Amino acid sequence: MVKPQTLSTLALVTLLASQAVQAVELYADDDSHLNADMLAVWGMFNSRKNYDGTPGGSTWREGFIKYGLSGDQGLAGNGTLYGSLNWVSSATWGDGDAAGNTDGSERTTKIEDAFLGWRSADLFPVLGKDGVDISAGRQTIRLGSGFLINDDGPNLGNGVAEGALDRGGAYYLAARHAFDRTAMLGLGGSEGLHGSLLWLKSDNRAQAETELAAGTLDYTHALGTVGLTWIHGIDVADQWASDFQKAREGMDVYSVRGEGSAGIDNASFAFEYAWQDKTDGPEQAWYLQTGYTFADLPWAPSITYRYTRYLAGWDSLFSGLSNGYGTWFQGEVAVNYAGPFNSNTGIHHVGVKATPLENLTVGALYFDFDTVRTRDSLNLDARELDLYMEWAVTEHLIISPLVGLYQPRKDESNGGNQVGGNGTNVYSQLTVAVPF
């Protein structure tokens, strides 16, 4: 399934999005809606160790404000027109992040969303409600769970490539998600057999301004969804492309995936197996996940186990944060600063969380990273434990503190990349979201 949407930047914002309170209604009648959109996110970060070759640690701050308009207009029984126009202002202050992607000097304001679309409503009963959905413009597009394509990240700054890749700061908060140019056709709605075709082009230099086409075919039942994905790489900008990224030209990616409860109350299951046909040989990545919520116990605790494996030459494409902490940024320290970066690793993950109050969630995430191939590669074997809280103080204020303990097997002196020895790095962050 392909779904254009405004993606949450953090787990706390994901929580917020589920409460549908990210817009202020300016006008509404039976056929028309006009909303003022605003989301402000601020974060304070500290890492006692760095991963860019510099000694000591880093302390920095990030923030962004997303603002604009969105709405829809009924067309007298001929479907619904919808669209959005939003800007993002973002910045980083202080030392810059622990991986040296930003240096604290980044500031910018740019258009984020600018798209129009049309949904068919009940015009084509055989295709279901909104069985035809066409959109084009600057928007976020996600395939399935976001394992292959979730958004147009990362958001690098002035710390690399002499600032040529700068997107205006807020590296961790990931202020910018939309692809620069897109066209998408969805058929069949969201139930039964449905699919999509799409074209997109990135304007992210860190992604070599990749252009690609894709298609999906899904079947959704009460037990869950199974689906197929195909992606074809069309072009990259040679000026910005690494040798690794140049392999995206002509590359085909295929995957089979599924997620659902399989008819078991309070259970969840998910998987995806993907392979890439590249000029220098095939590559694979896959995951298996299961979870269970003890709904009858106090605080309704839940537990999740997932194993993910990425081969050494796997291209993570446009994977990104899709459903809160740990998906698909696995390990707050690992995937954001230290590595591995969704390549050349096998990852065991256990997550637990509970809800002591209706507006409060507490959780812990454990990751064990095993480097697949160490020859001619960094050894990024490591363990990480992240402890976090998500507190929806009000519908317009959400606070999330997190502490991460990251211990690599190696350091920069013997095949790893942590500066200052392989002792445990203590990482902390406090993020605050103000949505409307």
The CA distance from 39 to 36, in Å, is 10
**DSSP state string for 246-266:** HTTTT-EEEEEEEEE-TT-TT
Which residue do the tokens 């258009």 mark? Answer: 111
pLDDT for the residue numbered 17: 39
Q: What is the pLDDT along the chain (436 residues), one digit of tens a residue?
A: 433 333 334 445 544 433 334 689 999 999 999 999 999 999 999 999 999 999 999 999 999 999 999 999 999 999 999 999 999 999 999 999 999 999 999 999 999 999 999 999 999 999 999 999 999 999 999 999 999 999 999 999 999 999 999 999 999 999 999 999 999 999 999 999 999 999 999 999 999 999 999 999 999 999 999 999 999 999 999 999 999 999 999 999 999 999 999 999 999 999 999 999 998 899 999 999 999 999 999 999 999 999 999 999 999 999 988 888 999 999 999 999 999 999 999 999 999 999 999 999 999 999 999 999 988 889 999 999 999 999 999 989 999 999 999 999 999 999 999 999 999 999 999 999 998 8
Asked if 241 contacts 230 with a C-beta cutoff of 8 angstroms, the reply is no
pLDDT for the residue numbered 16: 40
pLDDT for the residue numbered 369: 98
- List alpha helices for 105-178, DSSP H: none
Q: Identify which of 39, 20, 35, 36 has the alpha carbon closest to the alpha carbon of residue 435.
A: 39
Task: Specify burial of residue 162 (Cβ count, 10 A radius: 0-12, 13-18, 19+).
Answer: exposed
Is the Cα torsion angle 11, 201, 214, 221 positive or negative in sign? positive
The CA distance from 234 to 415, in Å, is 36
The CA distance from 212 to 152, in Å, is 12
Asked if 58 contacts 98 with a C-beta cutoff of 8 angstroms, the reply is yes
* Domain spanning 2-435, CATH architecture: Beta Barrel (2.40)
> Side-chain half-sphere of 6: how many Cα atoms within 13 Å?
28
The CA distance from 102 to 96, in Å, is 5
* Token reading at 379: 């050894």
**DSSP state string for 304-357:** EEEEEEE-TT---TB----SSTTSSS-SHHIIIIIS--SSSEEEEEEEEEEEEE
pTM of the shown model: 0.93
Asked if 199 contacts 213 with a C-beta cutoff of 8 angstroms, the reply is yes
pLDDT for the residue numbered 13: 53
Residue 424 DSSP one-character state: P
pLDDT for the residue numbered 343: 94
